[in-house]
Amino acid sequence: MEIRDFSRIIGCLFAVDILLGLFYVADWWAGMPFFFISRLVSLQWEMSLASWYSTVQLFALALALTLLWWSSRRLDGGRHLSLALFAALVFLMSCDEAISLHERLGMVMTKAIAAKEARGVFAERTGYWPYVLGLPAAALLGVTLYFAARSLRDAPVTRVKLASGMAMLLIGAVGLESWWNFASEGAMADVVEPWLEETLEMLGVTVMLWGALQGLERRGVAIAMRRSSS
């Protein structure tokens, strides 16, 4: 079976993005009665549905971008290695999502900078990662995508969706997470911010994946899935 029209797949991904956020809000609204369920639908803890989903989602995006780069290489002789670099950065983001590396580094940096436990200091909720790591990473991703877009001149819709999706992702991952340090105690900090942040990140990746798949579709690249003959 060959997949050439990805619209249904993208529609399902958008639905999952929204539902994962709603599950988290619904569990909080119900008073988080079951720890196992709360951990499973959490948008803040590791090893949750959202964490697993985001890991796979980013990996799928990295794979689609790699295929896009390969088709660009065929068209222009491989001059635009920035698209391959962008795909590699997205793959690293997938790995980071799997092990929550940036959160761990943030806590380590907070303790080192504050010379004590991360309590009663600035950025006590997130650690210092949004400022020390997040902003440089956002700049690197933005610059790399800018140059990568040069290899996608034949797919303007793909360029727009990659840029808009990346903007959504960075607003959630860096912007809203930075704002979290200033949110007042209560539902705003416990529920609203994580819900908006993580949902925006997932939606952003889906938009980018949509654009990448449309770029492949425009170039006549089909994804084939064959059943084993055994």
End-to-end CA distance of the chain: 17
Is residue 228 domain-resident?
A: no
Q: What stretch of H or E contains 180?
A: helix 177-180
Question: 201 is in which domain, residue-wise?
Answer: 2-221
Alpha carbon 75 to its chain's center = 28
Inside any domain, residue 59: yes
Q: In the chain, how many domains are there?
A: 1
Residue 229 belongs to some domain of the structure: no
Asked whether residue 230 is domain-assigned, the answer is: no
Cα–Cα distance, 146 to 134 (Å, whole number): 18
Using DSSP's 3-state secondary structure scheme, residue 158 falls into helix
Which pLDDT value is given to residue 1?
47
Tell me the torsion sign for CA atoms 83, 89, 90, 92.
positive
Residue 117 pLDDT: 52
Residue 63 in any domain: the answer is yes
What is the reported pLDDT for 118? 46
Domain presence at residue 118 = yes
List the chain pLDDT tens, one digit each, 230 residues. Answer: 455 567 888 999 999 999 999 999 999 999 888 988 999 999 878 789 999 999 999 999 999 999 999 887 766 655 578 999 999 999 999 998 888 777 777 777 767 666 555 455 556 666 667 777 788 899 999 999 999 988 888 889 999 999 999 999 999 888 887 777 666 666 666 788 889 999 999 999 999 999 999 998 887 776 655 554 44
Please give the model's pTM, rounded to 2 decimal places. Answer: 0.85
Task: Tell me, yes or no, whether 203 lies in a domain.
Answer: yes
| Cβ contacts of 109 within 8 Å, gap of 6 or more | 127, 128, 129, 132
